[in-house]
Structure formats: structure tokens, C-alpha cells
Amino acid sequence: MSKKNIVVFASGSGSNALNLIHYFNSSETAVVNAVFTNNKNAGVISKAIENRVAVQRFNKIDFYETTQVIDWVEIYNPDLIVLAGFLWLVPPSFIEHFEGKIINLHPSLLPKFGGKGMYGKNVHQAVLESHETETGITIHKVNKEYDKGEILCQAKFSIESNDDINHIESKIHDLEFFHLPKTIETILAK
């Protein structure tokens, strides 16, 4: 059985992309064969290169005004496109082209704390300010609205009285690193 192809989109440090690269390097299921980024200074670039994964940088014109990014992604024949810390709204043309093949990792229990500007520490700050008793992650299909697609997986933990943003962020990363690869395996097994 041949391995399935995963393309990862990331805008930042790439900790989840790196986790996926390492996880699937020792898996029979799939391989991460490309990382796409909209940030020329993203940490994910060096992490991908160090692990011999192709990197493609793109800008707003490539993504929103042309089919360039679609054409580049097609080269990798993706079975799944994973948004892992990717901060731009995906254009309808891209979603339509890769219908049903795009998932997103979000650091809260959607539908709470989703939407534009809700990423990273912004989410954790909002969770704390709202005096939530629990938080977690959501892995969902991507549609034309920020964080509104069908939920595929949620994992949560209770917020302790001494938890600050850094504690929450660390616990979120633990959930992401464990659940994202497992969810991807389940999707690709179907």
C-alpha cells in the first residue's frame, strides 16, 4: 500500500508541522511531502528543510488573486491538506478545488473563541478573561468561514486556578501533538 500525501500550511514556528513530519516519517500511513507558508520569516521553513521536506512560500496575490498556490499544491497530489497554525482565511476557489481534503487545527473548543484574530495567545487570553472552566483543541474541516467547518475531533482539559497563558499554551500543545496525527490517520484510513 502506498503512503498518502499530506501538505501542511503554517504561518509560524511550525511546531505542529514538525510533529507531523516526525510522526509520519515512522508511519506506514502517510508522509508530509510539502510545507506551504505565507510568512517568509516563519520558523517552519528551517524545520521543514532540516527534515528534507519541500517548502513553498507564497504571498497574498498568489493565494487570493491567481491559481498559483492551487497549481503548486497539485504538484504534491495531496490526500489531505492540514492547516497547522495557518492564519489566513482560505479562499473559496482553493476550498472548492480541494473539496473535503482540508482540515484545520484550532486551539480552543469551537464554536467558542473562533474567528478572525483568534489564534495562539489571543485565544488563551480570551479563554482566561471569560473565566472558562475548561479549554482544549478542535480539529475541523475547512469551509468558507473562519473556524466554522464540521468538527472532527475535540480534546479538552480543566483550567486550574493557577493556570496562566503559558500553562494553557503548553497543555494545548500537548493535546495538539497527540491528537492531530491520530485524527489525520483516521481520516486517511477512510
Whether residue 46 contacts residue 54, with contact meaning beta carbons closer than 8 Å, is answered with: no
What strands, in cross-sheet order, belong to the sheet with 54-57?
Answer: 54-57, 30-37, 4-10, 80-84, 102-106, 134-141, 151-158
The residues spanned by each domain of the chain are 4-189
Known catalytic residue: 179? no
Residue 116 confidence (pLDDT):
86
pLDDT digits (tens, 9 = 90+) for 40-75: 999 999 999 999 999 999 999 999 999 999 999 999
Residue 1 confidence (pLDDT):
65
Given the residues 97, 106, 131, 140, select the one marked as catalytic.
Answer: 106
Instruction: Determine if the pTM surpasses 0.85.
Output: yes
C-alpha cell at position 15: 511546531
What is the arithmetic mean of pLDDT over 90-119?
95
Q: How far apart (Å, rounded) are the C-alpha atoms in residues 112 and 15? A: 24
Partnered with residue 6 across adjacent β-strands are 32, 80
Q: What count of Cα atoms within 13 Å lies in the side-chain half-sphere of residue 148?
A: 8
Helix (H, G, I), strand (E, B) or coil at 74: helix
Partnered with residue 139 across adjacent β-strands are 105, 153
pLDDT digits (tens, 9 = 90+) for 12-22: 999 999 999 99
Residue 145 confidence (pLDDT):
86
CATH of domain 4-189: 3.40.50.170
Summary mean pLDDT of the chain:
96
